[in-house]
A and B are shown apart, each in its own frame.
Chain A
Amino acid sequence: MSTGAGNGAALAPRSPDVTSSSVYADGVPYDRFAEMRATPGLVWHPYGEDGFWAVTRHEEIRLVSRQPEIYSSAVGHTNLWDLEADALEARRSLIDTDAPDHTRLRRLVARAFTPKNIRRWEHTVRSITGQLLDEFIDAGEGDWVESVAAPLPIRVILTLLGVPVEDSAYLVELSNHLVEGTTDRPTLAADAYGNTTDPRLLPFNSPASHALFTYGEQLGDQRRAEPQDDLVTMLVQAADDGDRLRPEEYRNLFHILVFAGNETTRTAITHGVMALADHPEQWQRVLDDRSLVEPAVEEILRWSTPVLHMRRTTTGPTELAGTAIEGGQKVVMWYASGNRDEAVFDDPTAFDVGRVDNPHQAFGGGGPHLCLGAFLARLELIVLLQEMADRGLRLRRTGDAVRVPSNFVNGVLSVPMAVVA
């Protein structure tokens, strides 16, 4: 294949390489994505010994997401790299399952996450949020991630699941180890937390996953004995109800529920507040007009795109954007690019809390895998902005953000912020 700056199609990588994790330490390579969006057809991007089709336009991300029969989540893996068959089987959860298994698993939990049922948690979310904000205001400054963005989502999801308050510190610790597992940084020793399973077979190759499974099983046993009005009770009842949920499916679901909403929501909260601090005139608009809270939240989601991409694998030969795709090839949807697509968003590089038409793809491009927790994440962000506005809270950055070097999550490890007096 030619390497010069030639005819466009199927030429990659130009620099920077969008799969290189270290590139993301300096920020998402938006310019490179803009080049790929402007390239007719799909771009073939080398990766390891093989490569993938890079899907970078909003329209085609939508199409791939909504045709799960052609673009499978169960073949290979939903991240860039492949997993060996035994590892894939052992880890299989909602995200890497196709219908009909996916439909069955998803329905078991979907009820708890409908907009109607999520609204019941507003009061809980509000009190958790208010408490964290008041602590931050008292301190006057601090690391926004550690003080607010990280504890908020994990406390919320643990409350929904029914994890006792006294155990939440332990679960936060496990969740932090899992986040480490998504980066190149070294993680725990293989036998940490008494793990005896080959880490390869554990989500994120992390022994913390073993600890999370064990915890989930113990909590499940407790709820089986003494049912409560919480998600774990709902899941164990489904597990006991004939063949609706197998034990390994239960623990994988428990795991994904603890993890999926944490790093993601934390990222949205961090980038969102950074954007509001960097664009004080935008925050002023929200302070002056509370009806802008909801559009501001959608803009924060578009702006932050916490999950940068998801992968599918073709079940047979097909065609997309005029490009022929073979069966068994990787197709990677870059949501971070779809969310900057000039064909869909007016002035996509502007942060505009009043953006009216905002069909962002932060929760995916639609289709059956659309983020399960979308309404919970929205509720957390809406309540956060409302509670900040109620307190007249203005923040400024007092130092640089330290980013997670990952091509998968748009994460921030720390960012110092101070209350503007």
Chain B
Amino acid sequence: MSDGAADEQVVMAVDDTRCIGGGQCELLAPDVFEVDDDTGIAAVTAPGLLDRVTALELLDRCPSGAISFAQPAP
């Protein structure tokens, strides 16, 4: 993992069975995540691209462990 360049883009995913809808992701990356007002679950708004540094910080901040790397960006 440490060999990835800091500006490398990664694609993120949210596990909707774990998400508790607290919105830490929306706060840190508003262009990528949005908590749905009706379901209280975060969704990745297309295309879910994020730089690796922010992505790693988010993995740490998401309290429920709902966020993961979907796939490395092409």
Could you say which of B17, B26, B35 contacts A103, with CB atoms under 8 Å apart? B17
Interfacial chain B residues near A111, Cβ < 8 Å = 21, 35, 37, 40
Instruction: Contact check, B23 vs A114: say whether CB atoms are below 8 A apart.
Output: yes
Question: Hey, what's the 0/1 contact readout for A95-123 against B, CB within 8 Å counting as 1?
Answer: 00001101100111011011111000000
In this assembly, does A66 line the interface, its C-beta being within 8 Å of a C-beta of chain B? Answer: yes
How far apart sit A115 and B23, CA to CA, in the bound complex (Å)?
7
In this assembly, does A367 line the interface, its C-beta being within 8 Å of a C-beta of chain B? Answer: yes
In this assembly, does A372 line the interface, its C-beta being within 8 Å of a C-beta of chain B? Answer: yes
Interfacial chain A residues near B18, Cβ < 8 Å = 99, 103, 368
**Beyond A366-B63, A368-B63, is A110–B37 a contact (Cβ under 8 Å)?**
no
In this assembly, does A370 line the interface, its C-beta being within 8 Å of a C-beta of chain B? Answer: yes
Instruction: Contact check, B64 vs A367: say whether CB atoms are below 8 A apart.
Output: yes
Interfacial chain B residues near A103, Cβ < 8 Å = 17-20, 64
Could you say which of B17, B40, B61, B65 contacts A110, with CB atoms under 8 Å apart? B40
Instruction: Contact check, B40 vs A107: say whether CB atoms are below 8 A apart.
Output: yes
Question: Hey, what's the 0/1 contact readout for B18-60 against A, CB within 8 Å counting as 1?
Answer: 1111111011000000010101110000000000000000000
**Beyond A366-B63, A367-B64, A368-B63, is A110–B26 a contact (Cβ under 8 Å)?**
no
**Beyond A106-B20, A367-B64, is A115–B41 a contact (Cβ under 8 Å)?**
no
How far apart sit A117 and B22, CA to CA, in the bound complex (Å)?
10
CB A180 to nearest CB in B, in angstroms, measures 31
Instruction: Contact check, B65 vs A113: say whether CB atoms are below 8 A apart.
Output: no
Interfacial chain A residues near B17, Cβ < 8 Å = 100, 103
Could you say which of A66, A114, A366, A367 contacts B21, with CB atoms under 8 Å apart? A114
Range of interface residues on A (Cβ < 8 Å)? 20 to 34
**In the complex, residue of chain A having the shortest beta-carbon distance to the beta carbon of B34:** A116
Interfacial chain A residues near B27, Cβ < 8 Å = 114-116
How far apart sit A111 and B23, CA to CA, in the bound complex (Å)?
8
Instruction: Contact check, A114 vs B26: say whether CB atoms are below 8 A apart.
Output: yes
Could you say which of A108, A113, A115, A370 contacts B63, with CB atoms under 8 Å apart? A370
**In the complex, residue of chain B having the shortest beta-carbon distance to the beta carbon of A368:** B64
**In the complex, residue of chain A having the shortest beta-carbon distance to the beta carbon of B35:** A114
CB A215 to nearest CB in B, in angstroms, measures 25
Instruction: Contact check, A66 vs B26: say whether CB atoms are below 8 A apart.
Output: no
Interfacial chain B residues near A117, Cβ < 8 Å = 23
Instruction: Contact check, A372 vs B22: say whether CB atoms are below 8 A apart.
Output: yes
**Beyond A103-B17, A366-B63, A368-B63, is A113–B40 a contact (Cβ under 8 Å)?**
no
CB A342 to nearest CB in B, in angstroms, measures 21
**In the complex, residue of chain B having the shortest beta-carbon distance to the beta carbon of A102:** B20
How far apart sit A340 and B42, CA to CA, in the bound complex (Å)?
33
**Beyond A103-B17, A115-B27, is A110–B64 a contact (Cβ under 8 Å)?**
no
Within 8 A of A (CB), among B60-74: 61, 63-65
CB B29 to nearest CB in A, in angstroms, measures 12
Question: Hey, what's the 0/1 contact readout for A30-67 against B, CB within 8 Å counting as 1?
Answer: 00000000000000000000000000000000000010
B-side residues, CB < 8 A to A, are 17-24, 26-27, 35, 37, 39-41, 61, 63-65
A106-B21, A113-B23 given. 8 additional CB < 8 A pairs?
Answer: A100-B17, A110-B35, A111-B35, A113-B22, A114-B21, A116-B26, A116-B27, A367-B63
The 4 tightest CB contacts between A and B, nearest first, are A114-B23, A107-B40, A110-B21, A370-B63
